[in-house]
Amino acid sequence: MPSQPRELRLASRPDGAFEAANWEIAESDVPEPADGEFLVDVTHISVNPAMRGWMEDKPSYVPPAELGEVFPAGGVGRVRASRHPRFADGDLVFGAFGLREVALSSGRGLLIIDPDAAPPETWIGPLGDTGLPAYFGLLEVGAMEAGDTVVVSAAAGAVGGIAGQIARIKGGRAIGIAGGPEKCRHVVEELGFEAAIDYKSESVSERLRELTGDHGVDVYFDNVGGQILDDVLINLAFGARVVICGAISQYDTTGTWRGPANYWQLLVKRARMEGFLVLDFAKKFPAARAEMLNWIADGSLMPSGEVVDGSLEDFPAALRRIFDGANVGKLILRI
Ligand SMILES: NC(=O)c1ccc[n+]([C@@H]2O[C@H](COP(=O)([O-])OP(=O)(O)OC[C@H]3O[C@@H](n4cnc5c(N)ncnc54)[C@H](OP(=O)(O)O)[C@@H]3O)[C@@H](O)[C@H]2O)c1
């Protein structure tokens, strides 16, 4: 337990790419738990691209992070000083603690995790922030069926890597789009996608045409937006579903985001494009976690990711790794 716990606050909003100076470290004033409360020593912080959006003062699916306030973040920690009947000292919990070393909690929204079933990294990644959007985005929003040709962008990333594996498990053809030969190799050889397209050195639209022929793409799981979205739209199958999970290519943009130029293909192919937020499916999380735990246990779903050891000060550099494409799989900061 840190002697004087600290927290990371949003100090300013970025203009374009974010910098470490957009956050400031401060000492936390953590009160003694009252009845029904406990402390959490945060051990693992989930680093994800959506955090870039939370820095903006713009209408979104969550209110903007406040200047001078602790920056929001999810993660895992260990319970102590519990005065709560359902949370015992030593329990591992997964939830939203913010960028804090120590959090005071009432237990609301927290999940007690079983480290014997899976390590904290797996609860945050495949069973949490990244596996759940992959699962519901693909199977519910994308209505993926066996035999579908499924294309996934940011395929070597946290959400994309799981989405492609679920497509394979459910009997689809998974084609990944990723940056660079090493990521493309990882996607095919380790995650079991049928093929991968290196968007940094290949024409995505031409390679998709070669790989999917006259049939085209039944489900596009989009994590990036921008040019790649347009390249897939021009290759849609009849009745295709385009799932908008994210648009990381646009998050650092100052001014107007680039929208899809080829949207007309939705009419031509009688296709639909639909965005979603994973929290919309919260009631179904336990069943999805149970199914994914089975896949992990039987070896069909491979958790992929990297843990960076450090402290709160290392958070901005960890987030930068995602925007530089330096991460493979789920990125976690262990403090
Ligand atoms: N809808 C939801 O409920 C929900 C929930 C969680 C996450 N998300 C979204 O899902 C997406 C993936 O999140 P994640 O946590 O899994 O991140 P991630 O894929 O692990 O990391 C992002 C990856 O995006 C790629 N990338 C970065 N800049 C790019 C650019 N300009 N053009 C194309 N690719 C770029 C990089 O891979 P390369 O090296 O291959 O370029 C990078 O590794 C994000 O858009 C996130 O906001 C949505």
* pLDDT tens, N- to C-terminus, the chain (335 residues): 557 999 999 999 999 999 999 999 999 998 899 999 999 999 999 999 999 999 999 889 999 999 999 999 999 999 999 999 999 999 999 999 999 999 999 999 999 999 999 999 999 999 999 999 999 999 999 999 999 999 999 999 999 999 999 999 999 999 999 999 999 999 999 999 999 999 999 999 999 999 999 999 999 999 999 999 999 999 999 999 999 999 999 998 888 999 999 999 999 999 999 999 999 999 999 999 999 999 999 999 999 999 999 999 999 999 999 999 999 999 999 99
Atom nearest to 53 CA in ligand 1: 47
How many C-beta neighbours within 10 Å does residue 296 have? 17
What pLDDT does 1 receive?
52
Distance (angstroms) between ligand 1 centre and the Cα of 179 equals 11
Where do we find the tokens 């969550």?
Answer: 62
Burial class (CB in 10 A: 0-12, 13-18, 19+), 299: exposed
Does 305 contact ligand 1 (Cβ within 6 A)?
A: no
Question: With helix as H, strand as E and coil as C, how does 173-205 read?
Answer: EEEEEECCHHHHHHHHHHCCCCEEEECCCCCHH
Measured on CA atoms in the order 324, 325, 327, 330, is the torsion positive or negative?
Answer: positive
Atom nearest to 245 CA in ligand 1: 1
Does 46 contact ligand 1 (Cβ within 6 A)?
A: no
Distance (angstroms) between ligand 1 centre and the Cα of 117 equals 27
Distance (angstroms) between ligand 1 centre and the Cα of 78 equals 29
pTM, 2 dp? 0.96
Atom nearest to 177 CA in ligand 1: 40
Residue nearest to atom 41 of ligand 1 (CA): 179
